[in-house]
Structures are given as C-alpha cells and as structure tokens.
Structure 1
Amino acid sequence: MGDPALSRRGFLAASAAAGVSMTALSGCGGDSDGGSSGTTTIEWWNISTTQPTKDVWAGLAKQFEAQNPRVKIKIVQLENDPYKSKMTALTASGKLPDIFHTWGGGVLKQQIDAGLVEDLTDKSKGWGDGLLSVAREPYLFDEKVYGVPFDIGMIGFWYNKALFKRAGVSEPPTTWSGFLDAVRKLKSAGITPLALAGKEKWPGMYYWAYLAMRTAGIDALRKADEDKDFTGDGFVQAGAHLQDLVDLQPFQKGFLGAAYSSPTGQAAAMGNGKAAMELMGQWAPVVEADAGKGIGADLGFFPFPAVEGGQGALTEVFGGGGGHALRKDAPQAAVDFLKFFASAATDTTLVKKTGVLPVVPAAESALTDPNLSAVQAQLKSATGFQLYLDQAYAPAVGQEVNDSVAGLIAGSKSAQQVAESITKVAKEEQ
C-alpha cells in the first residue's frame, strides 16, 4: 500500500486506485442552492475511492436523497494521502466539510480543540449509543461524542493452519514465550514464520504497540502520552521482547525492502503460502487473496499473545476503524445522514457488499466469513481498546513510534533508544 493508512483504514476504501480530482470546499454550511426550492446541499468528504465501496456509498447517498427530497449530498472522494493533506490545510484554515471521514484519536482531538467539530452527544442519543462500544471509543473525548463509526477492526495474527501442522504447532500460542517457541518450531521445519513489510514502517509498529499493551498495560500507553514519557520499564521491556523475536530472524528473505500489498510483499507471502503468519488487521484475507492466491480454509486467526508477568490482558485489543464527524454548526440534515448511515439496514448493506465488520448489533447476521466472525467475537468481548498509535497520538509522535520501531527491527536502535526517541519527540510536541 505504501502508506499505513491503506491497510489500517480499510483496504477497500483506500487502496491504490485512480485518483479523484480535488474539489473546492463549496458546500460547507449546508447552504441553500440559491433557488426557491429550499434544497440543502451537504458536502460529504470520504476516502472510498475504490470498488465496490465507491458505488455502494454513492447508492446510499441516492437512497437518502430519495427519502429526503429537500437534501442533496455532494460527495467529495479523495485517496488517503491527498485527503489527509487537504484536511490538515482545512483545519488550519478553520473550515471543515459538513460531513468528513475521521479515524478519531489525536487528529480529531486537534480539530475539536480548535472548535471546528460538532458535539454529537445529544444529537446521537437513542441511535448512536447502541453501536458497538469499542467502535465508538476513538470518537469519545471527555465523555462527549464527536464522531459516529461505520467500521471497526483489530490487529491480530493471521496464520496458515497447514504450515502450523507441518511444524508440529498444534494450537495457536496464547503466551509470548509460547509464540517464540512456535517461531522456533516453524524455522526448524524450514518454514518462514512471519511475513513483514519492512519497507513500510507501520506493520512493525504493531508488534511494539501490542507488546507495550501486554507489558506496561493499556492505561500506561495513555498515561505515557499525557506525561510525554515513554521511558518506563514496561515500554523498554516491550522493545526487549520484540528484540527477542528479531533475534530469531523470523521474517521472510528481503523483508526490509518488502512492501505490504505488492506481488512480492507481506500479504503475498501469506497469500501464496510462503510464510506461516502475519500480524495484520481484519482486511488481511482480502489483501492476501489479491496480492497472492489466498490459502482458503487453511487461513486462521488468533489474538496477540499475553506476556507473562505483564500488566495487560489478552482481551485488550489494538486496532481502529473509520467514522464520520460533522463540522461545527452543521445543518440538521447532516445529523440525519449520520443516523441513516448508522442504521441496521445501511450497516447490513455495508457488511454484505463492502466487507466491513458490523458496528450495529442487528447487522451481525450479515457476517458469514468464519474468520471475520472470530475477529468480531474478539472485539465484542474486548475489555479494553487501544487506537493505532499513529492516530491516537499527535502526528509527529505517532510517526516517531513507527520510525523508531523500524530502527529496532532493522538493528539500528536498541529497546532503550526506542523509548527515549519517542519521549524526545513527545516532549518537543508539548
């Protein structure tokens, strides 16, 4: 994909597809069209530039317009990187679209702190509060609602059951020591244990983030961000545990130059049966089948293992999803559209046609893939949820996490240096 956003924020929604021309921010404010009809035009900015999502979302907008004849939805679609750049500029200018895509976390908080985002706490009562709780978390600040999710997911290990069996690994490991033992068994059997896109730094970050959650605990990740200090023992231990894995040389040949979704990249190594595992989100099966051949019934999923003696729990998950927020003082029609988009009927359509996980409980019946059902079950039973670190934290801090962890995996940084580098950038951002 070339960018952390492509996989983490939805392969179908943000893959490398033909670009969409930039559109001026003309309809903000839900202004009348200037005629006597009294029609309200709402601009909806999203990153759904690929099929089938692009046509599905356009169809939903048409359906909403049919139900609300005095409302027109003007769709502005941008690929991931151009979208982020444009939204950064718009945030600085103080003018955001009526409805806009958000991943929540630190970026949304910056927009909230600037007074640019509508408080949806009261406006979403009765329909928004019934959505999957972990899906809502990235958009909650000071117990107030600033976004409505349409997608949620988590990172975990996707594995090849046939390769596990060949190596004598009878069950997916539930502890870190058991995981390292499985890696050793796979190597002894001549099997590449792990596929990794070392060229793109975000996949490596997943390991450190999860290990930090398991050692320091999920609350420590939030406190470290508040205190601007990632040098605590739990964070250094996370790096040390990752170093133990790196020392086993578990990744495919040439992993440092491998991309995520290219024909010779991480997903292809899994999809072609050349590696036993990859640490990736719920979109992984789609990308594995696209970049490689896919391994069908041999594909399984298990959560990131617990670390013995750590503060974290196996039921605390790391991931994220997509949502929509509204600009401050957006018209009621924009709120109505979010309610429509969060309905059971709409979510069922999204699950069936675009492969997202349901955020509306009533849409779960549309989920038929057993692996995605396993991911959904993990999410529903989660006792804690941590947003992707490069979204949860300020942008510069999140980037430093990616860069420093990549340095550790490449052999140029120690566990202590990773913790110190992230802390240094965090303090500079104060």
Structure 2
Amino acid sequence: MKNSKLSIVMASVLSLSVMLAACGGGGGSPTSAGTAGGSNASGSEPQKTVTVFQFKTEIVEGLNELKAAFEQDYPNIKLDIQTVGGGADYDAALKAKFASGAAPDIFSNNGYASLDMWEEKLEDLSDQPWVNDLVQLAAGAITKENRVYGLPLDLEGFGYVYNKDLFAKAGIAELPMTYSALEEAAKKLQAAGITPFANAYQEWWLVGSQGISVAFSNQDNADEFIAGLNDGTASMIGNKHFEDWARLMQLTLDYGNKNPLTTDYNTQVTMFANGEAAMMQEGNWAQTMIDGISPNLNIGMLPMPLNDDAARTGKVTIGVPVNLVVNKDSAAKEEAKTFLNWLVTSDIGKEYIVKKFKFIPAMTTIQATAEDVGPIAADLMNYIEKGDIFPHHAGKYPDGVAQEFGSAIQHFLAGQSDVPTWQKNMQAAWDKLK
C-alpha cells in the first residue's frame, strides 16, 4: 500500500484518536518528546518517557515486570507500555494515534506489506548492535534495501498442537504428515471416544491470517503467486491448493467440537488443556495458558497437511509475529533504542524472552532449551532444524485483507457458501484491497 493511502486512512480515523485520547489512551510524541515532569535521583538530568504500543496481550504481565527492571537500570527513562489486541483493533488504534499527534515511540509492525505502508515513519535501525545477531529466518520481513527497520521479538510457529497421550490412547503410532493420515487419525480418535479437534473459529485471525497462509505455502512458488494476485495474472478461484485447504477445514468441522463459530481462543485452549480434545490449530504462544491449566501436559506440534505429498505439505509455519519499530520523528527515539537494545542483551531480558514468554529466540545470542520454551516451541525448533517449515505469508497480504479473509472463511465454515463461492469471495477481498 502506498504511503499516500496510509495518510488518507489515518485522517479517516482522527475522530477515533480523539476518543482514545479522552479515555487516557494517549502517551505519544507530546509526552515522550518532553520532560516527564521529573528528574533522576541526582536531579541532574530530566526523565523522558518512551511509549511502547504493542499487541501481544499474552506478554503484558512480563512486559510490566521488565519495565520495572529497565527503569531501575535507567532511572532517567520511563516506559509507558500500552497494549491493544492484534488485528483490526490494533491497526485502527495505531493509525488513530498517528493521526491525532499522539504517535508512540515504539510500536509493533508485521513487516513486509506493513513495512511498506509505514516506512516513512520508521527509524533505520541498521546501526544497532543487535542487528548482526539476528537469525536469518527473522530478518527478512523487516529488512528493505539492506536496511533493518525493526527488532524481531521472536519466532513463532503454528500448526496443530496435539496431545501425545490421547494419540497413544487412540492407537496412533505414526504422526500424520499427510491429509489422509490426518483423516485416519481423526477417525481413530473419535472411535476411542476422544474429540479430535478443538476449533476456535470465532477468531477471524486464526483462519484469515494464520490458517489460510498454508494454502499460499503449498503453491509452487508462494511469492510469485502473491505477485500474480497483485498484478492480476493469478487467482484463488479454482486454485487446487485453496480447494484442498477448504477440505482440511471441513475435516476439522466433521471431527471437531460443537459450535466452533462461537468458540473463542480461551475456550479452545481450555478444552485442549483439559484433555477434552486431541488437537487444536494454535502455536507456541498458547504454551503459557496451557501450563496455567495443566502443567507438564505431554504435547507436540503437527503440520496442517493439505494433500498426500508429505514432502510438500508436511511442514509447520514459522514467522515473526511482531517487530518492534521506532518512530523516526520521536524526540525520545534514542531512549527507545536504548530500551530495545537492553531487551535483547540484558540477562533479565533474555531470560524473560525464553522462560517467561516461551519465545523461540530471534537472536543467535539468546539461547533456549526445551525446558525454557516448553514442548510446543521445542517441537517447532526441531522442524526448523530439519528445514521442514513454511514462511508465514500473512504479512504480505494487502492491508485489511486478513480480516476480509476471516469473514469469508467464517461464512464458508457456517455453511453459508460453497467452495467455489468462498474462493470468489476470497479473490474479491484481495482485488478490493490490493
């Protein structure tokens, strides 16, 4: 998306920004740029406030603990951490903050198309000391013309999280790496009195951002296919891999929980953690919630296979869920860089990344054991080591398409459209927003 289009969108949400400011949701440039009303213990230097606007709700508690540790190390810098859940709500709130003049100093960015859209607002971080420590998988989404514009917070992966003990109870000895094998596993689980899938299809992001990425990955060349969607030479209509993805979704419906379209993330994870279902489409971000319900659950990760070619489809999806970027117009941008560097170099920052957040590190200088990150991430790291991974393509969708995808997919899952109509709706969403 062109930056001029971003300006139009930002202007259109100005009224929302006024409402956010009235509710105390501000904290951007006016506060950050000046003195925060105090000085350090010696009174020699004024304090500055760095506003961090991010969307990973599951790490808020840990971020606040890190805030206290950072402010102890840097008494002249105060952090104002603000969180809005990911997706449309976050995107609208971020645009509103910029439109109102309350832009944050640090904010979340998905990279790829989002990098293109926000590039004119981003500080070039290529000279930061952590840049050379980025793992190869992490750098691509936030790098443009050899310039690094953000700090990848971690690597995340998704597929079907599965309960190893329930698989054993159903007599599933070989892990399903193809569609037919997954269908057979579902039948065995159901025959053993076990619900195969816990589906949280109320969550548009689960299908519209994450799940559908697998249909892109199974193309002969995903990036060429996306380029073709943008220039009109490719289409989702009649595409076999999208048809296969719809078939996989139907399988999960046929062997899944009741009322999947009114089942949210928390309910899904609770069902799975309580042993009420053997599989769920999720990733390593769910580990902390699972641990809070059923510590030491014997679990692992499976692909979302679309066909019976295991070499092609028997892979999990890995990507960077969030890059922390710096507002280049912030008067506190040097302090913002100080915090980002501290986050990935301090002992406590590195410890929280792997042990508290259960993240797969995006830095070669941060080490993680299976005990640190939990069994889901440990399994994902094994897939990474073997090279059995897909990139996450959602960051390459046009702005707003993931939400449109989610709606179209939910209509299909509700039986309100057949596969050809669903494909037409998906293509129409892309064409409208590209």
Shorter-chain TM-score: which interval?
Answer: 0.7 to 0.9
How far, CA to CA, are the matches of 1:139 and 1:93 in structure 2?
26
Q: How does 1:165-184 map to 2 (within 5 A)?
A: 165-184=168-187
How far, CA to CA, are the matches of 1:410 and 1:347 in structure 2?
43
When normalised by structure 1's length, the TM-score is 0.79
- Pair 1:385–1:181, CA change in 2 (3 A): closer
Instruction: Extract unaligned runs of 5+ from structure 1.
Output: 1-19
1:147 maps to a residue whose letter is G
Q: Choose which of 117, 129, 144 in structure 2 pairs with 1:110.
A: 117
Partner of 1:275: 277
How far, CA to CA, are the matches of 1:64 and 1:230 in structure 2?
53
Deviation of the 1:33 alpha carbon:
6.1
How far, CA to CA, are the matches of 2:215 and 2:45 in structure 1?
55
Q: Is the 8 A contact 2:51 2:105 kept in 1?
A: yes
Deviation of the 1:179 alpha carbon:
1.4
Deviation of the 1:410 alpha carbon:
2.0
How far, CA to CA, are the matches of 2:190 and 2:224 in structure 1?
34
Deviation of the 1:23 alpha carbon:
2.8
The one-character-per-residue Cα deviations of 1:178-226 (angstroms, maximum 9, x if unpaired) are: 2122122222333211110122233234443213312454334532553
Q: How does 1:13-32 map to 2 (within 5 A)?
A: 21-27=24-30, 30-31=33-34
Deviation of the 1:301 alpha carbon:
2.1
When normalised by structure 2's length, the TM-score is 0.79
Q: Choose which of 248, 252, 255 in structure 1 pairs with 2:257.
A: 252
Q: How does 1:207-226 map to 2 (within 5 A)?
A: 207-220=211-224, 222-226=226-230
Tell me the SS of whatever aligns to 1:362. coil
1:426 maps to 2:426: no
Tell me the SS of whatever aligns to 1:317. strand
How far, CA to CA, are the matches of 1:97 and 1:150 in structure 2?
18
Q: Is the 8 A contact 2:106 2:324 kept in 1?
A: yes
Instruction: Extract unaligned runs of 5+ from structure 2.
Output: 1-22
Q: Is the 8 A contact 1:317 1:382 kept in 2?
A: no
1:373 maps to a residue whose letter is A
Partner of 1:322: 322
How far, CA to CA, are the matches of 1:280 and 1:193 in structure 2?
14
1:149 maps to 2:152: yes
1:62 maps to 2:71: yes
Deviates more, 1:333-342 or 1:362-371: 362-371
Deviation of the 1:72 alpha carbon:
1.7
Percentage of identical aligned residues:
22
Partner of 1:16: none
2:263 maps to a residue whose letter is A
1:394 maps to a residue whose letter is P
Partner of 2:51: 44
CA RMSD of aligned residues (A): 3.3
Q: Is the 8 A contact 1:43 1:98 kept in 2?
A: yes
- Pair 1:337–1:221, CA change in 2 (3 A): farther
How far, CA to CA, are the matches of 1:244 and 1:83 in structure 2?
30
1:424 maps to a residue whose letter is A
Deviation of the 1:63 alpha carbon:
4.2
Q: How does 1:93-108 map to 2 (within 5 A)?
A: 96-108=103-115
- Pair 1:338–1:383, CA change in 2 (3 A): farther
Tell me the SS of whatever aligns to 1:156. strand
- Pair 1:102–1:245, CA change in 2 (3 A): closer
1:427 maps to a residue whose letter is D
Tell me the SS of whatever aligns to 2:280. strand
Deviation of the 1:260 alpha carbon:
1.5
Deviation of the 1:104 alpha carbon:
2.9
1:162 maps to 2:165: yes
Q: Choose which of 97, 102, 118 in structure 2 pairs with 1:90.
A: 97
Tell me the SS of whatever aligns to 1:273. coil
2:242 maps to a residue whose letter is A
Tell me the SS of whatever aligns to 2:366. helix
Q: Is the 8 A contact 2:228 2:234 kept in 1?
A: yes
Deviation of the 1:314 alpha carbon:
4.1
Deviation of the 1:170 alpha carbon:
0.7
- Pair 1:163–1:78, CA change in 2 (3 A): closer
Q: Is the 8 A contact 1:173 1:179 kept in 2?
A: yes
Tell me the SS of whatever aligns to 1:357. coil
How far, CA to CA, are the matches of 2:324 and 2:280 in structure 1?
30
The one-character-per-residue Cα deviations of 1:142-198 (angstroms, maximum 9, x if unpaired) are: 442111012221112211122212222112211222212212222233321111012
